[in-house]
Homo-oligomer: A and B are copies of this chain.
Amino acid sequence: MGVSNEKNYICTAKNSMTKINFTPGPSQLYFTVEDHVRQAFKDGIPSLSHRSKAFEKISAEATEGLRELLNIPSGYYFYFTGSANEIWERIIQNLVEDKSYHLVNGSFSKRFFEIAQMLHKHPQKTEVEMGKGFDETVKVPTDTELIAVTHNETSSGVSMPLDAIYNFKRTNPNALLVVDAVSSLPFPDFDYTQLDSVFFSVQKGFGLPAGLGVWLVNEKCIAKAEHLVAKGISIGSYHNIPGLQAHALKNQTPETPNVLGIYLLGKVVHDMLRRGIKNIRQEAEYKATLLYQTLQNHNLIKPAVADPVFQSKTVIVAATGEHTESVTKLLLEKGMQPGDGYGSSKKTQLRFANFPTHSKEQYELLIDTLNSYA
């Protein structure tokens, strides 16, 4: 490429923050967020007392909106935390006396396992290499108290089929089944009655500024935490389940939370409700199909996850190999910011978030651009 293109690259790279952001998270903001922030300032939300009725209303708007959007049955409760990392820790503290079991196939599922070790539990795992998935043949140790499944490995773009997840409940009815849906919700249409706990963070599929984790638990989780307390086991302090639950029932939080983040979550969830979760899911399917077909038919780039059964619909990873740098450059020139490959795959893969804020038109531009690279 000549000097003029080089210049163009440098010039657009400087503005990379305002490009279409395909990084899996923090990702492109949901397109209504800036307007909601403006309104929030008009209404004094950023300095609102978290012990006011107005805050309780905001908190209820977020959790009741999520309940409707995701079709959550009764007997399940939402808690707010600082991050999904925090939820990993709270799950191990509150729901595991000694043994959790982890399906590890990437950096994030591995980290969940390591957190259990750091909290001096005795987690067990089945591990496969990055890019591989798990099916129904996985055998869970019979003394497992909790099965930790990562629905969508953000690092590798491997997703776990829902039936394979539910199967753990059928074959291990006494263990709590916990699903990390950090980079997949609101896309998956989970049957929550098959799951005991699910969690996500808002800066991915919900397109919000980072700094808020959302944790869903059922009555069995609450009972387990209380059981551990009764046995004299510490389950943490200000963010243990009994404390979170007592506050959640009043639409409050134990600490001063990210009030603005909770407000924005409620607003975006209601925008999604108006758009319709069915539409959002159909569009996600359409965009994913388009991109996987493009990668499948490309002569230089391929999907990083070969088996279609395990291909994530929300974080699509391309094996770009030696073309990584030049594909990145081309995309940046066209106003698109791809996500780097994760960790050791940084120079050989690119990741593309397929979240509700990424429009069909943006995906079509992405695909046209990838097709023009041949």
Bound-state Cα–Cα, A18 to B28, Å: 30
Assess whether A18 is in contact with B44, with CB atoms less than 8 Å apart: yes
Asked whether B47 lies within 8 Å of A26 as measured between CB atoms, the reply is yes
A237 and B44 contacting across the interface, CB-CB below 8 Å: no
Contact string, A300-315, partner B, CB cutoff 8 A, digits 1/0? 0000000000000000
Partner of A257, one of B81, B83, B260: B83
Residues 238 to 260 of chain A near chain B (Cβ within 8 Å): 238-240, 254-260
- Determine the distance from Cα of A50 to Cα of B209 in the docked complex, in whole angstroms: 11
A85 contacts B by Cβ under 8 Å: yes
Task: Please determine whether A118 and B34 come into contact, CB atoms closer than 8 angstroms.
Answer: no
B83 and A236 form a contact (CB under 8 A): no
With beta carbons under 8 angstroms apart, the residue of B37, B44, B83, B114 that contacts A21 is B44
- Who on chain B is nearest to A45 by CB? B17
B25→A256 contact, CB < 8 A: yes
- Within residues 123 to 138 of chain A, which ones have a CB less than 8 A from any CB in chain B? none
Shortest Cβ distance from residue A268 to the other chain B in the assembled complex, whole angstroms: 12
Q: Identify which of A44, A47, A111, A238 gathers the most chain B CB atoms within 10 Å of its CB.
A: A47
Evaluate contact between B18 and A256: CB separation under 8 angstroms. no
Give the residues in chain B near A42, CB-CB below 8 Å. Answer: 18
In the complex, chain B residues whose CB is within 8 Å of the CB of A28: 47
Q: Mark A8-29, 1 if CB is under 8 A from B, else 0.
A: 0000000011100101011111
Closest to A27 in B: B47
Residues 169-193 of A at the B interface (beta carbon under 8 Å)? none
Contact of A82 among B43, B82, B203 (CB under 8 A): B82
A42 to B17, CA, bound (A): 9
Nearest CB of B to A347, in Å: 15
Which residues of B have CB within 8 Å of A21?
Answer: 44, 47
Q: Does A48 contact B (CB under 8 A)?
A: yes
**A261 sits at the interface (CB 8 A):** yes
The complex places the Cα of A47 from the Cα of B41 at a distance, in Å, of 19
Distance between Cα atoms of A24 and B85 in the complex (Å): 30
With A83-B256, A210-B256, A258-B82 as known contacts, state yes or no: A17 contacts B44, CB within 8 Å.
Answer: yes
Interfacial chain B residues near A163, Cβ < 8 Å: none
A89 with B237: in contact, given A25-B256, A26-B259 (CB under 8 Å)? Answer: yes
Establish whether residues B41 and A211, one from each chain, have CB atoms under 8 Å apart when the complex forms: no
Tell me, rounded to whole Å, the shortest Cβ–Cβ distance linking A237 to chain B.
4
Alpha-carbon distance A208/B236, docked complex (angstroms): 28
- Interfacial chain B residues near A201, Cβ < 8 Å: 256
User: Contacts of A259 on B, CB cut-off 8 Å?
Assistant: 26, 209-211
Residue of A23, A26, A28, A54 most packed against chain B (CB within 10 A): A26
How does the 8 Å CB contact mask read for A264-278 relative to B, with 1 for contact and 0 for none? Answer: 000000000000000
A42 to B85, CA, bound (A): 28
A255 interface neighbour in B29, B49, B85, Cβ under 8 Å: B85
Which residues of the other chain, B, contact A23 by a CB distance below 8 angstroms? 47, 49
Known A82-B86, A86-B82, A210-B258: A41·B46 in contact at CB below 8 Å: no
Task: Report, nearest first, the 7 A-B pairs whose CB atoms are least far apart.
Answer: A82-B82, A17-B44, A211-B258, A85-B255, A46-B209, A118-B237, A115-B237
12 sample A-B contacts, Cβ–Cβ < 8 Å, listed by A number = A17-B47, A23-B47, A47-B203, A82-B82, A84-B256, A89-B238, A89-B239, A118-B237, A119-B234, A119-B236, A210-B257, A210-B258
Q: List residues of A whose CB falls within 8 A of some B CB.
A: 16-18, 21, 23, 25-29, 33-34, 37, 41-50, 54, 81-86, 88-89, 92, 111, 114-115, 118-120, 201, 203, 207-212, 234, 236-240, 254-261
